Amino acid sequence: MRIDPVKGTRDFYPDKMRFRNWFFETCRRVSLLFGYEEYDGPFLELLELYARKSGEELVNEQTYTLTSRGDDPETLAIRPEMTPTLARMVAARQQEIRKPIRWFSIPNCWRYEAPQRGRRREFNQYNVDILGVESLDADAEILAVTVRILRELGLEQGEFVIRISNRYYLETLFQEIGASESVFPDLLRQIDRIEKLKPEEFCANLLELGLATLQVDALLKRLNDRSYAGFEPLEQLFEKLEQYGIADYTRFDPHIARGLLYYTGTVFEIWDQSKNLRRAVAGGGRYDDLVTDLGGTRLPGVGIAFSDVVIEQMLEQRKKAPVLPREIDIYVAQYQPTLRGQAIAIAQSLREAGFRTEMNVLDVGLDKQLKAAAAGGAQYAIILAPDEMARGEVNVKNLRTREQLAVPMEGLATFLSQNNDSSLNKEV
Amino acid sequence: MRIDPVKGTRDFYPDKMRFRNWFFETCRRVSLLFGYEEYDGPFLELLELYARKSGEELVNEQTYTLTSRGDDPETLAIRPEMTPTLARMVAARQQEIRKPIRWFSIPNCWRYEAPQRGRRREFNQYNVDILGVESLDADAEILAVTVRILRELGLEQGEFVIRISNRYYLETLFQEIGASESVFPDLLRQIDRIEKLKPEEFCANLLELGLATLQVDALLKRLNDRSYAGFEPLEQLFEKLEQYGIADYTRFDPHIARGLLYYTGTVFEIWDQSKNLRRAVAGGGRYDDLVTDLGGTRLPGVGIAFSDVVIEQMLEQRKKAPVLPREIDIYVAQYQPTLRGQAIAIAQSLREAGFRTEMNVLDVGLDKQLKAAAAGGAQYAIILAPDEMARGEVNVKNLRTREQLAVPMEGLATFLSQNNDSSLNKEV
C-alpha cells in the first residue's frame, strides 16, 4: 500500500528540482553581487522565539509545534518564518559581527494554512536583510536587490509592482483622525486586510474598534490619498529609489500595513500585476526593535522574503518559466555486458577529465542505451564494441549530428575536449 | 532576555555557511559528474513511512513526531533519514521514470540522540542512490561516487576506509552454525553493535538469543575470518571496485551489518582511520525490497548517506579544512554622506557589469570604510571625493598593492575589467 506525502507539501522530482535550484541560485547570485553573505539557522526553534513578536495569528494558528523529547520537555516550533532566527543569531553575537550586517538565507518554512494556488504549507523562502543602518539607504538597497532578482528571473517592469508604505505614516493618519493610541495595532491589522474585506466590512470593523463614523470616513479618505508629501521617511525613500533606478517598479500605497507585529517603519509588498490575478507575492519591512526584543541591544533592520511557489506561477502564466533539461556530457554504451569493465575504466577517465559521464549498467541493447543517452542530454555517446576494442578504439557518436567516428582509446578525453559538433562532423 | 537555539542544532553564521556550501557543492558537482540528478522531498512525512521498515530504534527512540493540525489529525515525523522518502517518491511514479534512477539529495534531517562529538540532533546529509539495477555495478558505482567526493574534499587513501559486507553473506554464516532463521534479524543487530560491546557482552547476548556456546564460538571464528572466497556477490563487487580503481580504499569486513531493517545485500560503512579516533563516518547499502514495501513493484536500490558534521571534524583534525574568506570584488566608499546618491549609481553600474559590489551606507570616516572593504575581501575600493567628482573622476584604490589612481567615472567598469593588481600598479 502506498503512503501519501503530507498535505500541503511538494515532492521535488528532478525536473522540479532543477527549477528550484535555478530560482534560488539566481537569488544567491544577486545577493552576492550586492555583497550579502549567506547564513542558516535550525529548522526548529523554541516557540517562545515567535511568541514574542510575530503576532497571534502566526503563532497560534499557523505554527506547527511539538514537544521536545527528553527529561526537560520544551515547546518547539517548526520555523514559520526566518526573521526571528536571524534576530536571535545576531543578538547572540552582536558585538563581534561587523555592521552593517548584510545577510541572506534560503530556509524551508512551514505554516498551517489551507493549501491553495500559490500557497503551500511547506515552502522554501528566500530572505534578505540588512541590519545596523538607521537611514533609508537600507530600505532602498533591499528593494534594489529584490528588483534585480525579479528581473534576472525574467519578470519585467509592469509585470510586478512594489507597493510601499510606512507604519509611522499610517500612525500619523490615526493621530489626525484622533484615534486612541491603544487601537493603533488593531487599525494596522484592519488595513492589512483592507483588500480582502468588503468596504462595509472594513468600516464595520473600525466602528467596532470604537471609531466614530466621522473618523472612519476621514481615515478612508486619507487611505485613498496617494500623496506622502511632507512625510520625510517616504520622501527620502523614493528619492533613493530614483538613485537606484528602480522608482518605476515601485509606488506609494497606504493600503499596505503588513501583518507581523514586529514591523516598525517602512513596509512593502510585491504584487503580481497580471490582469486576472492581482495578488501579493512577497512582503517585508523594517523591524528596528526586534533584536532588542530578542535580547540584543538596539539594531535597526529591514528585509524581505519571498518563496518560489508563487513566482514560479507568475513565470508559468507568462510562459517565461525556463525549460531546464537534464545535462550530461557523455554517455558510455556497450554492445555487450562483457565490456562493462572496460566501460568503467573509460567512464572514470572521462570523469577525471571533467566530463559529466553516465554509463550504461543494464543488460539492454544499444538502441535503448542511445535513447537513454539522448534523454540525458548527452552530446556524445562512446560506444564500446568488441572489434574496435581489439584495435584499441571506441566509437564516438555525436548525438546531435548523428556522425560516428572510431577514436583511439588513449587520448579519448583529449579528443573530446578539442572537438565540438562541427569539427567532428568535418573530420568524418 | 535572550532565547537559546534548540539543543543539538547549529547556527550557520556566514563563515560556517561558506564551509557547508563548499562541502555540499562538492557533493553536488561530483554527483553531476557521474550523471546523477538532484531531488528533494518534504521535511515532514507520515510516521508510517518510517514505521514500516526503518527499524524500531530509529522510529521509537530517535524520530521527532508531532500531530498535524486540522480536522483529521495524523502523526507526522520530522524526517530522520531520506531513503524512505526516495522510495515513496519512486513508487508513486514508478512507471514513468526512466531506469536506472540515479538521484541525489541534500536534506536536513533530525534524530533525537545525545549530542556528542560529530553528532547533532539536526544535520544536513548528502544522499546518493541508484535504483533499478540488479547487478553489483550499482553498488560499485555508489562507492566510486563516494570515494571521488571524499578525495575532492581533501581526504586521501589511508585516511578513511570503506568497510564492506553483505547481509546475505552473514546469513550464510548463521546457517552454517545452524542458527534458527527467526533470530537472523537479532543476530544482524548484535553484529552491528559488535565493536561497541565487550567480547563477553556480545557472547552473552548471543547466548540469550538461544545460541549454544559452540555456535557462538563458531560464529566468532567466522566473523574474524576476512575471506569472502566463494561468496559470489562479494567476489564480483571487489572485482568491480578494482575496475573503478578504488579497491585500495575498501576492504571486506564481516563486522559490518548496519542497523536499518530495510537493507538486503551489500552493506558498507566509511570509517575514519585516524589513530586516535576510529569511527563510522557514513553508511549505506542495498535495499532491494523497500520500494515494494512502500507500495511500488520490485525495484532494487543501493545508496549511501553522509553528513557534513563528522567529515568537517576529520578535515579539521588533519588541518585540511579549507579557509574560505568572504569575497567581494569592489567596495564603494565616500568621503562624505552627501555623495551617497552618486555612490549608489556607481555601485549599480558596477553590479550591472557583474562585479560583486558592496557600498558604504553608514556615516563613518574613510578609514572605517576601507577596513570594511578589506574585511570583505575586496580587491578594489572606489572612493568618491568632492574634488574628483567635480572632474568626473573617482579614486580607484587597489587594496592589495595600496596603489591609488584617479579614473574617469565613465568607463569605470571597463577599466576595472581590464586591470588586475599588476597592471594598475604599472600604470601608476
pLDDT, mean of residues B299-324:
94
Beta strands B250-252; B393-398: pairing state:
unpaired
A193 inside 8 A of chain B by CB:
no
| Structure-model confidence comparison of residues A421 and A245, the more confident one | A245
Q: Are residues A45 and A77 in contact, defined by beta-carbon separation less than 8 angstroms? A: yes
CA distance B298 to chain A (A): 13
**pLDDT for res B260:** 82
How far is Cα B263 from Cα B256, in angstroms, rounded to an integer? 12
Q: Which of residues 378-417 of B touch A (CB under 8 A)?
A: none
pLDDT, mean of residues B1-16:
94
Q: What is the pTM of this model?
A: 0.95
Whether B423 shows a pLDDT value over 70: the answer reads: no
| Residue of B6, B90, B364 to mutate, testing the A interface (most A Cβ within 10 Å of its Cβ) | B6
**pLDDT for res B274:** 84
Whether A71 shows a pLDDT value over 80: the answer reads: no
pLDDT, mean of residues B115-139:
92
Of all residues in chain B, the one with the smallest CA distance to A141 is: B344
ipTM, two decimals: 0.94
Question: What HEC string does B298-367 produce?
Answer: CCCEEEEEEEHHHHHHHHHHCCCCCCCCCCCCEEEEECCHHHHHHHHHHHHHHHHCCCCEEECCCCCCHH
Nearest CB to A49 within list B3, B78, B362: B3
Partner-chain contact A18 B38, CB within 8 Å: yes
B189 inside 8 A of chain A by CB:
no
Which has the closest alpha carbon to A348: B32, B102, B34? B34
**pLDDT for res A423:** 44
How far is Cα B255 from Cα B169, in angstroms, rounded to an integer? 11
pLDDT, mean of residues A262-268:
95
A99 inside 8 A of chain B by CB:
yes
In the numeric block, the cell 543539538 is attached to B8
Residues facing B151 on adjacent strands? none
Partner-chain contact B351 A43, CB within 8 Å: no
How far is Cα B271 from Cα B282, in angstroms, rounded to an integer? 7
Chain pair A-B, CB pairs under 8 angstroms: 243
Percent of chain B's residues with pLDDT above 70:
97
pLDDT tens profile A286-322: 999 999 999 999 999 999 999 998 899 999 999 999 9
| Four-residue CA torsion sign, A335, A338, A342, A343 | positive
Dihedrals phi, psi of A151, to nearest 5 degrees = -65, -45
CA distance A137 to chain B (A): 6
pLDDT, mean of residues A129-158:
97
On average, the pLDDT of chain A sits at 93
CA distance A176 to chain B (A): 33
Partner-chain contact A17 B39, CB within 8 Å: yes
**pLDDT for res B428:** 33
Categorise residue A416: left if φ over 0, alpha if ψ from -120 to 50, beta otherwise.
Answer: alpha
pLDDT band at B175 (very low <50, low <70, confident <90, very high): very high
**pLDDT for res B279:** 85
pLDDT tens profile B177-192: 999 999 999 999 999 9
How far is Cα B9 from Cα B14, in angstroms, rounded to an integer? 16
Whether B426 shows a pLDDT value over 70: the answer reads: no
Q: Which of residues 36-75 of A touch B (CB under 8 A)?
A: 37-46, 48-49, 52, 64-66, 68-70, 74
Q: Which of residues 274-313 of B touch A (CB under 8 A)?
A: 294-296
Which has the closest alpha carbon to B389: B405, B369, B406? B406
Name the residue type at position B125.
Answer: Q
Residue A207 in grid coordinates = 466602528
State the CATH architecture for A330-427.
3-Layer(aba) Sandwich (3.40)
Nearest CB to B100 within list A64, A355, A362: A362
CA distance B161 to chain A (A): 20
Whether B421 shows a pLDDT value over 60: the answer reads: no
pLDDT band at B68 (very low <50, low <70, confident <90, very high): confident
Percent of chain A's residues with pLDDT above 70:
98
Q: Are residues B135 and B167 in contact, defined by beta-carbon separation less than 8 angstroms? A: no
pLDDT, mean of residues B294-317:
94
A231 inside 8 A of chain B by CB:
no
pLDDT, mean of residues A99-107:
98
Whether A283 shows a pLDDT value over 60: the answer reads: yes
How far is Cα A270 from Cα A280, in angstroms, rounded to an integer? 6
A368 inside 8 A of chain B by CB:
no
How far is Cα A256 from Cα A193, in angstroms, rounded to an integer? 9
Nearest CB to A294 within list B2, B38, B239: B2
Three-class SS state of A293: helix
pLDDT tens profile A151-196: 999 999 999 999 999 999 999 999 999 999 999 999 999 999 999 9
On average, the pLDDT of chain B sits at 93
Partner-chain contact B351 A6, CB within 8 Å: no
How far is Cα B111 from Cα B121, in angstroms, rounded to an integer? 5
Q: Which class is B14-317 in CATH? A: alpha beta
Residue B393 in grid coordinates = 573622476
Dihedrals phi, psi of A261, to nearest 5 degrees = -65, -30
Cβ-Cβ contacts under 8 Å, B239 against chain A: 341
Partner-chain contact B13 A326, CB within 8 Å: no
pLDDT, mean of residues B40-57:
88
Dihedrals phi, psi of A195, to nearest 5 degrees = -85, -10
Residue A306 in grid coordinates = 519571498
**pLDDT for res A70:** 76
CA distance B210 to chain A (A): 34
B114 inside 8 A of chain A by CB:
no
Domain spans, chain B? 14-317, 330-427
